Amino acid sequence: MPSERGLGVAVVGTGKMGADHVRRLHDVISGARVTAVVDIEADRAKSLAATIDGCTAYTETASALASQEVDAVLIASPGPAHESALIEVLGRDLPVLCEKPMTPDTASALRILEAEQRLGRRRIQVGFMRRYDAEYVKLKRLIESGGLGAALMLHQRHRNLAMPPAFTDEMLITSSVSHEVDATRWLLDQEITAVTVHRPTASSLAPTGMNDPQFVLFETTSGALVDVEIFGHCGYGYQVQAEAVCERGTVRIGDEQGLRISADGRWGGDVPPDYVERFEDAYDREVQAWVDATRRGEITGPSAWDGYAAAAVCEAGVVSQREGGRTEVEMVERPAFYA
């Protein structure tokens, strides 16, 4: 149980996302403190730990979890490392917030589902932060209210200034479109049954060999159609937008609402450079909600099942991307444990 000083959190992974979560837990979130950081890069972990009183640096997750100062875990390491870290955390029966992807494929995701079910209680929350974004929450409530009738189509756009050098075609689906996968399932409250990936003429800004942008089409259990434009190298900033087309109206989110300047015969504003800035408030809400729920002895938010479902849809998307044509999503029956 957390001490009077707050929930002791170990952050696994101290790259861009992990370091931002350490800052968030230390400077923004109430009811928690960073007691450990873990990274295979020892110097990076030590440097970050040195900025926080009472924080210890580790190079192995198991060593950090053995500390009496660790009550919960936030995993922000690269996706392929998540399975082993989650197994370690479940072995210690600790609550965990794991950044997406929970795991990079369905086989490993199923192993996590089985391990959590053997434990007998939910311990995992997956970091699909758009569920905590103020605009997405309003869109979800509007669709659920039924005021505009049933949602028939959903248009989504996901544009990045540029992608890291090692980014691949496959990662456009597994690392980027995975957000739209979860947003679709959450907003429409239904599963995605099939995926089709189209590849238009590649942008001259895309690295040699990368097919960027791409156009992804989801089919859902109700027959709704959802399209996603993923553009990894748009060259001007980071944009995420969504528009629901319903029976009696439409609603759109993601248009920039910040400072607008009119001067010199022009008007305009800023486009954020990346996801850390665009979704800063959503990350704050997500982590605060996780800390509050954990202190109450609860697990809320996206479950390990949501992590598995996203992996299944992305797996189908990669097949369509590679082979062309429509690919059906293959999923196991949802366990009652995750009802």
How many angstroms separate the CA atoms of 194 and 284, rounded?
Answer: 33
* 16-27 vs 280-295: helix crossing angle, rounded to 10: 60
As for how many domains the chain has, the answer is 2
Structural domain contains residue 332: yes
> For every one of its 339 residues, what pLDDT tens digit does the chain have, with 9 covering 90 and above?
555 679 999 999 999 999 999 999 999 999 999 999 999 999 999 999 999 999 999 999 999 999 999 999 999 999 999 999 999 999 999 999 999 999 999 999 999 999 999 999 999 999 999 999 999 999 999 999 999 999 999 999 999 999 998 899 999 999 999 999 999 999 999 999 999 999 999 999 999 989 999 999 999 999 999 999 999 999 999 999 999 999 999 999 998 766 777 878 888 888 888 888 999 999 999 999 999 999 999 999 999 999 999 999 999 999 999 999 999 999 999 999 999
Contact 311, 192 (CB under 8 A): no
- List the CATH number of the domain containing 107: 3.40.50.720
pTM of the entire predicted model: 0.95
Same domain, 84 and 155: no
Residues 136 and 41 in one domain: no
Is the CB of residue 24 less than 8 Å from the CB of residue 284? yes
Judge if 214 and 334 occupy the same domain.
Answer: yes
Clarify whether residues 216 and 167 are in a common domain: yes
230 and 143 share a domain?
A: yes
Q: What is the biggest distance separating any 2 CA atoms in the chain, rounded to whole angstroms?
A: 65
- Which residues form the domain of 192? 131-276+310-338
Whether 14 and 118 share a structural domain? yes
Query: Look-up: residue for tokens 């870290």?
Result: 85
**100/16 Cα distance (integer angstroms):** 14
Per the domain annotation, does 1 fall within a domain?
no
Domain assignment of residue 2, yes or no: no
Angle between helices 304-323 and 178-188 (to 10 degrees): 120
Q: Please report whether residue 105 resides in a domain.
A: yes
Cα angle vertex 241, ends 159, 291, to 5°? 95
Q: Based on the fold, state whether residues 90 and 104 are members of the same structural domain.
A: yes
Place of tokens 């794991």: 98
Q: Tell me the CATH number at 180.
A: 3.30.360.10
Are 332 and 207 part of one and the same domain? yes
Q: Are residues 192 and 326 in the same domain?
A: yes
Give me 111's structure tokens: 């192993």
